[in-house]
Structure 1
Amino acid sequence: MALFFMKKASTAELDAFYPVKPECQVDIPKTRFRLRAGKTLSERRWHAAFSEDGHLDIAKVLRRIQRGGVHPAIKGVVWEFLLGCFDPNSTFDERNQLRQRRREQYNSLKAECQKMVPVIGSGKFITTPIITDDGLPTEESENGNMTGGANHASSDKKVIQWKLFLHQIGLDVVRTDRSLVFYESQANQAKLWDILSIYAWLDNDIGYVQGMNDICSPMVILIENEADAYWCFERAMRRLRENFRCSASSIGVQSQLGTLSQVIKTIDPKLHQHLEDLDGGEYLFAFRMLMVLFRREFSFVDALYLWELMWAMEYNPNIFSSYEGPSGGATPPNVNDKELKQYGKFERNIVKTGYTERHGALSVFLVASVLETKNKQLLKEAKGLDDVVSILGGITGNLDARKACNEALRIHKKYLKIKKTQK
C-alpha cells in the first residue's frame, strides 16, 4: 500500500499533509516535490534502518534522503537526527532518557517565563506591548494581568529586553504561514509563540529577530510535542543564529554574503564583475534567501524538501557532540571510506579535496547555483540592481530543489579545487 501511494501521490495528496486554506491556493507557489518509490525515504525504510536496540544506519538514511527527500509522515523524527538532536549510535533507551530530560528542561524554562508573563502556556499570545522601553507596564498589560501581577517597573535589563520582544513575536506569529489551515487554530499559533518566546529568553545574545518564526514554524507543524519541537528548533538555530545577529553597523548574514561574493568571483569572474559594475558586489539581493533558507522562493512542501536535502548533504557524524561550524563538528583529517559514507555529499567534498577550511554553508552555494542558472539573463538584461532583484524574483515557485542542490554541490566542488590550487 505504501509503495502504491508513493507511485501515485499527486500534489493534492501531498498538500493534504499540510492543507492550505481554499482562498489562498491561487497565491502560493506550485509544489514540485513528488514522493518517488525507491528514492524517497519511506516509513518502512526508516524503521528498517534501525538495529534491534536502536542504532541508526545513518549512511543508508542519508543516501535515501539525498535521492528523494523524506515522506511527510516521518519528517519530524528524521529531522531530529539530521539536526543533531540525537546520536545515530545511541540506543532507543538512551534517546528516550535524553528526550525525557529535555522535556523536563523545557518545562522548567517555560515555568520560569510563565512567572514573569502568565500568558505563556495559556494557549493565547500577545500582539501589543506589555511594557514601555523604560520597563513600565503598559495600561493594556496591567488590565490583562500579563506582567505577572507586578505593576511596577522592571529593572533587570534582560527581563525588559525579553518582554519588549514578546509582542513583536506575536505580530510575526500572526503572519507566519497564514495560508495553512494549521494556523487557523489559536492554540497552534500560541505554541509557536511560546517556543519563540522561550528561545528568546534563553538566547541572551540574540534574543528574537524577525525570520526566526519562518524557521520554527515547520518544527511546530511536524513535531506534536512542544518540547521536542523546541529542541529541534534550538538545534536548527545553532547553525543559523549568526544569520540573525544584527548591530548598528552590520547585518547577520553579511559574512555569508561576503562568502557568496568570493564564490562567484572565483567560479564566474565575468558575472561577479557585472554585478560589481551594477553596485551589487555586496550581494544584498540574496539577503532573504540566506536569512530564512529560501522559505519565500518555494512552496511550503518544497521548502521542507529543500531543507532536508541540505541537512542531509551537510550531515557530519560529529554533529551531535560538536557544533563548531555551520554544518556541524570539525571533520577529522583522516577519514576512511566506511566512515566517509556517514557524511553528507557536501561534507564529503571537503574531505575528498583535502581542503578543510570551511567556506560557508550549503545555502551559500545554493544561491550561487541560482545565480549561475540566471547567468545569461543577468549579463544580458540586468542594467541595474532592480533588474537583478526582478530576475531573481522570477525563480519563486520555479526552482527544482534537488537540481538546485546538485548544482550547488558541483559549484562547491569546483570552488574547493580552485581554492586548493591557490594556496
Structure 2
Amino acid sequence: MWRDPGVPADSFYEIRPECTDVPISRFKIKAGKTLSARKWHAAFTTEGYLDIGKTLRRIYRGGVHPSIRGEVWEFLLGCYDPKSTFEERDQIRQRRRMQYATWKEECRQLFPLVGSGRFITAPVISEDGQPIQEPLVLSETNSAEGLAVLPQDNNWPSSLNAASNVETVADKRVVQWLLTLHQIGLDVVRTDRTLVFYEKQENLAKLWDVLALYAWIDKDVGYGQGMSDLCSPMIILLDDEADAFWCFERLMRRLRGNFRCTNNSVGVEAQLSNLASITQVIDPKLHKHLEHLGGGGYLFAFRMLMVLFRREFSFCDSLFLWEMMWALEYDPDLFLMYEEPQSATKKTEGPKGKAKSIHQCGKYERANMRNGTKNSEAPLPISIFLAASVLKDKSAELLHEARGLDDVVKILNDTTGNLDAKKACSGAMKLHKKYLRKAKKQ
C-alpha cells in the first residue's frame, strides 16, 4: 500500500548556509494528516465558532502546517475562545494591541531604546542605580559570525538621564528591570542563531522588545534565561509584535513557575521532583541507579523541562512537539482562565447553549478528567511524562553504561536531534496511563 512520505517542513524555517551541523527535521507535512490551511478554515462556522475537538485530533495526527501555525497556536494557548465569533476575537485583538502599545510606551519612557529597532548587550546601570556611562549599544549584526557589532552611541548617557530624570535611579523595580536588559540582549543574539530569520536586525530587536516588556509587567518573575528560547518561535510565527507578545504571555502563564527563583530553590525543581516520583513508580530500577550515582535530584533533566525540549529537538521538530503537547493538554476553559477579569464574565456556553464537553478536551486532559485528578490538585504537565519517556527509552543504556552523572548527561545529550516528536508524545501518554494505574495500586 502506497504511503504519503510527506513534505519536509524545514524549508519554512530557512537555515543559514554556513550552519551545516543542524539536525534535519523529522516532521513531514502529510496530506490528510497535517492540519492544512483548508481544513483549518473549514473548521470555523460562518460566525467564527471553531470546532476545537476535530481540530485537536487533526493536530495530534499530523501537526500543523507552518503557514497557519501562528493563528492555530493562539487558540491552543488560550488567547482566544473557540466559542467566540470573528468579530469578538477582532475586538479582543485590538484591545490587546492597544494594551501592548501602552506598556511599550511606558518602557520607552524608562529606556529610550525600547521600540527603536536596537538593543543592548552591555550593562547600562549598576546595582545601586548609578548609570554606567558609554555602554555598548547593538546596532548591527555580523551575519558571518552571528555576533554583535557594538559601536558607541554618543547620545546614550543623555537619553538615559532624560528617561530617568535624575542621574541615579531610585525606584528599585526600575533598577531591577534595567539590570536585566543587557542579559536579554546577550540571550537574544544567541537564540536560534542558525536561522536566516535572525540575520535581520529588526527581528532580533523585536524579540528583545517583547522580552523586555514581559520582564517589566511580570513583577514577580521578570526575565530568566531560557525565556528567549520560548519566545523566539512566537516572533517567527506571528507578524504583529503585539500578537507575538500575547502568545508568549499565555505560554508563560503555564511555565513561569519554572523561572520563579528564591535564595533556596529554583522553580523547575518542583517538576524535577515530580519526574523523580514518576520514574520511581514506572522504572524503580532506573530510579535507584540514578540515586546511587547522586542524581536523585534529576538536575540532568533541568534543560528539558525549563525550555520544553527546545535543545533536544531540531527547531522545526520542537514546534511540532509543542503543538502536539498543547493539543493533548487542551482545556476549552483556557480562555476563561486566562482572560482579563473584565472579559471573564463572557458566556461560558457555546453557540448552541452546550457547556464544555469532554470531547472538546485534549486526550491527556480527558485522561486526567476521567481519573479525577482535576478535582484534587492540578494535574502534572505532559512535559514531565515526556521527560520520563526519554529516560525510559534510554533506560538500558543508563543502567549499563552510566558510572557517574557525567555519563548520564552525555547519554541524554546524545539524544539531541535524534528524537521523534510523535513517538515521544505517544510514549508520554503510555507512561501517564501506566503511572496512574500503578500509583492507584500503591
Same fold (TM over 0.5): yes
- Shorter chain as denominator, the TM-score bin is over 0.9
Structure 2 letter corresponding to 1:64: R
Task: Indicate the residue corresponding to 2:372 in structure 1.
Answer: 354
Instruction: Return the match for 2:360 from 336, 342, 348.
Output: 342
Taking the TM superposition and a 5 Å limit, the aligned residue runs for 1:332-411 are 339-356=357-374, 357-411=377-431
Task: Indicate the residue corresponding to 1:3 in structure 2.
Answer: none
Contact 2:300 2:409 in 1 (8 A): yes
Q: Does 1:280 align with 2:302?
A: no
Contact 1:83 1:236 in 2 (8 A): yes
Contact 2:49 2:83 in 1 (8 A): yes
Structure 1 letter corresponding to 2:207: L
Question: Could you give the per-residue CA deviations for residues 152-178 of structure 1, whole angstroms, max 9, x where no partner exists?
Answer: 101000000000011110111111101
Q: Does 1:169 align with 2:187?
A: no
Contact 2:198 2:204 in 1 (8 A): yes
| Cα 1:338–1:162 shift into 2, 3 Å | closer
Q: Does 1:124 align with 2:139?
A: no
Residue 94 of structure 1 and its aligned partner are, at CA, apart by: 0.2
Taking the TM superposition and a 5 Å limit, the aligned residue runs for 1:193-342 are 193-322=208-337, 339-342=357-360
Structure 1 letter corresponding to 2:299: L
The unaligned stretches of length 5 or more in structure 2 are: 136-153, 345-353
CA distance in 2, matches of 1:143, 1:400: 50
Task: Indicate the residue corresponding to 1:84 in structure 2.
Answer: 78
Q: Does 1:179 align with 2:194?
A: yes
CA distance in 1, matches of 2:407, 2:338: 39
Q: CA RMSD in A?
A: 1.9
Structure 2 letter corresponding to 1:87: D
Higher mean C-alpha deviation, range 48-57 or range 150-159: 150-159
Contact 1:137 1:151 in 2 (8 A): no
Task: Indicate the residue corresponding to 1:332 in structure 2.
Answer: none
Residue 252 of structure 1 and its aligned partner are, at CA, apart by: 1.7
CA distance in 2, matches of 1:200, 1:175: 18
Residue 16 of structure 1 and its aligned partner are, at CA, apart by: 2.1
CA distance in 2, matches of 1:124, 1:81: 31
Determine helix, strand or coil for the equivalent of 2:160: coil
Identity %: 60
Question: Could you give the per-residue CA deviations for residues 12-61 of structure 1, whole angstroms, max 9, x where no partner exists?
Answer: xx22211110001x221121100111111000000000001000000010
Residue 138 of structure 1 and its aligned partner are, at CA, apart by: 1.0
Residue 221 of structure 1 and its aligned partner are, at CA, apart by: 0.3
Question: Could you give the per-residue CA deviations for residues 212-258 of structure 1, whole angstroms, max 9, x where no partner exists?
Answer: 00000000000000000000000000001011112221112000000
Task: Indicate the residue corresponding to 1:21 in structure 2.
Answer: 16
Task: Indicate the residue corresponding to 1:104 in structure 2.
Answer: 98
| Cα 1:412–1:137 shift into 2, 3 Å | same
Contact 1:369 1:407 in 2 (8 A): yes
Task: Indicate the residue corresponding to 1:60 in structure 2.
Answer: 54
Residue 131 of structure 1 and its aligned partner are, at CA, apart by: 0.9
| Cα 1:205–1:344 shift into 2, 3 Å | same
| Cα 1:65–1:131 shift into 2, 3 Å | same
Contact 2:50 2:83 in 1 (8 A): yes
Contact 2:34 2:59 in 1 (8 A): yes
CA distance in 2, matches of 1:294, 1:78: 20
CA distance in 2, matches of 1:349, 1:419: 14
TM-score (normalised: structure 2): 0.88
TM-score (normalised: structure 1): 0.92
Q: Does 1:41 align with 2:35?
A: yes
Determine helix, strand or coil for the equivalent of 1:402: helix
Contact 2:5 2:28 in 1 (8 A): no
Contact 1:116 1:148 in 2 (8 A): no
CA distance in 2, matches of 1:151, 1:292: 38
Structure 1 letter corresponding to 2:438: I
